[in-house]
Amino acid sequence: MAIRGEPVSEGGRELPGSGLDAGGDGRFQVATEMTGTDRSADEALSGLTALAPVDGRYWKSTRSLVGYFSESALMRHRLEVETEYFLALLTELNVAVPSATAAGLRAGYRDWELGDARQVKRIEERTAHDVKAIEYFFKERVGRSDLSAHVEKVHLGLTSEDVNNLAQAQMHGRALHEVLLPAIGKLILRLATLVERERATPMLARTHGQPATPTTVGKEIGVFLSRLCEVTAPLLEMRLPGKLAGATGTYGALVFAYPSRDWPDFARRFVTGLGLRFSPVVTQIEPHDGLANFYDTLRHAANVLIDLCQDMWQYVALGYFNQRPAEHEVGSSTMPHKVNPIDFENAEGNLQLAAALTGFFSDKLTRSRMQRDLSDSTVLRNAGLAFAHFMVALEALGRGLGKVEPDAAALAQDLAGHPEVLAEAYQTFLRAEGWVTPYERLKELTRGRVVTLDDLHAWVQSLDLSKEDRMRLVELTPKRYVGLAPAIALEALGIAERWQARLDEREDPA
């Protein structure tokens, strides 16, 4: 979802042009807007007065989410549900709806402005009920239209949660497909570029922090590339569920008012028409199992990226990667030489916040007392926080990867300094050839000892081997002992290409 328009000042914050614009594919190009009631000049929300950094310090990274998760965005999505339900209900009841009238009503949410949100807020101050405020706001619009005679059909047979669950599902789905997945796609592209470039660059692997069988830089980054693609693949096709079954999930009010109608079928058609999956067996709320699954997937992805951040931090610390310093940046307030891996550290912290929030959402939202309690409502108002911390982390991680490059000399020196890692190759080859206890003999030679390549060659020379076998062992060096690592890196690239193709296909169904 693209931000459009020239920046305008609103409440002390530079913002893009306000309002909504329906794209040709039916998606909304949502410009950001301020939320809540008016503030005085002294109380203006800014980068210095925002309570949370996602609305202040990190605003540039999170502003694309305001059109999905702000209070104003929630109002707009609720209005969309109320509008579409009203039009669908009239059609179901065989009421003729002029196309121009329908378009005019739909313009209410398609051309949503900050002033509309303020008007709804004023109504809510009287009603002390946020969904009822949307209902009255929409009734005023219907009352001025050609359908004024049917104004009492607005919100007919609905409970607030019918509106809320559909609005929240659309907010989550649109933010996922129009903001978060494209951002993940950018990170995948950056990782893939690094994998391709360094797929054959030898690197000493470390298990338990100790020198281990060599690998390549591209293969090790490819592990994270593959994991990220595999974990997030379900998100590419994810459709969240929705319900429309009244106060306790029985369609009681609609059935009593219009007993001859098939209301479950109507509800199914309406919900799926919004691009959601239909939940037929519910209480007052949609049980949120779909949202829980969604948040579990996000948490898993966050944990994969935390692992990547921590490994990159370690590689920088080991000197495997060099960081390109920015001329005007400061690494330490007292140590002028410092170039710190701050982007990986920032990404790690924000990913941990995202993982904590998504894990909490998944645990919380699947529990509701009897037919419903309201505790899920206040929790879902914080959904944007999880997305925001994820977005901050993705940008920071992308910056960090863009600043580093492998130090080929340091990698080569590290490999050359640990010839003992060839012991694995030696003992495996000799056992395959039928030798007795080569593992134990190499353990005695190498474990806990400083061993040189000459020491290993002398040991090989002491063996009764054919000339060909002896030469094969002697010619092996740590930098050549990488197995199929370059080919495995290519396999990771193939996984990424298939992931990107699925994303492109979803963005451009034609």
Question: Do 298 and 360 sit in the same domain of this protein?
Answer: yes
Lookup: tokens for 80: 């969309």
Burial of 82 by CB count in 10 Å (0-12 exposed, 13-18 middle, 19+ buried)?
buried
Question: Do 80 and 179 sit in the same domain of this protein?
Answer: no
DSSP assignments along 479-509, one per residue: GG--TTHHHHHHHHHHHHHHHHHHHHHHH--
Domain coverage including residue 425: 417-476
Is pLDDT at 196 greater than 90 in this prediction? Answer: yes
What value, to the nearest 5°, has the Cα angle with vertex 327 and ends 324 and 333? Answer: 95
What pLDDT is recorded for position 441? 94
Does residue 199 form part of some domain?
Answer: no
Please write down the long-range contacts of 445-450, taking CB distance under 8 Å and 24 or more positions apart: 446/420, 449/420
Question: Do 355 and 262 sit in the same domain of this protein?
Answer: yes
**CATH number for the domain that contains residue 51:** 1.10.275.10
Does residue 506 form part of some domain?
Answer: no
Question: Do 122 and 167 sit in the same domain of this protein?
Answer: no
Does residue 102 form part of some domain?
Answer: yes
pLDDT digit string (tens) for 70-101?
Answer: 999 999 999 999 999 999 999 999 999 999 99
What percent of the chain stands above pLDDT 90?
Answer: 74
What confidence tier does 342 reach under pLDDT thresholds 50, 70, 90?
confident
Question: Do 144 and 177 sit in the same domain of this protein?
Answer: no
Lookup: tokens for 175: 């933010």
Question: Do 241 and 314 sit in the same domain of this protein?
Answer: yes
pLDDT digit string (tens) for 343-354?
Answer: 899 999 999 999
> Using CA atoms, how far apart are residues 426 and 442, in angstroms rounded to an integer?
8
Task: Report the Cα–Cα distance between both ends of the chain, in Å, rounded.
Answer: 18
Selected residue with higher pLDDT from 327 and 122:
122
**Contact call for residues 66 and 35 (beta carbons, < 8 A):** yes
Say how many CA atoms lie within 13 Å of 358 toward its Cβ.
Answer: 24
Does residue 205 form part of some domain?
Answer: no
pLDDT digit string (tens) for 268-300?
Answer: 999 999 999 998 988 887 788 889 899 999 999
Helices marked H in 404-466 — which ranges?
A: 408-416, 423-432, 438-446, 453-461
**Contact call for residues 64 and 1 (beta carbons, < 8 A):** yes
Residue 246's SS3 state is: coil
> How many domains, the chain?
3
Is pLDDT at 157 greater than 70 in this prediction? Answer: yes
The catalytic residue positions are 208, 332
What confidence tier does 432 reach under pLDDT thresholds 50, 70, 90?
very high
Does residue 494 form part of some domain?
Answer: no
Distance of CA 6 to the CA centre of its chain: 27
Looking at residues 322-346, what average pLDDT do you find?
Answer: 79
Is pLDDT at 9 greater than 50 in this prediction? Answer: no
Please identify which residue in the block is written with the tokens 């309570």. 51
**CATH number for the domain that contains residue 440:** 1.10.40.30
Lowest-pLDDT choice from 135-139, 255-259, 378-382, 476-480: 378-382
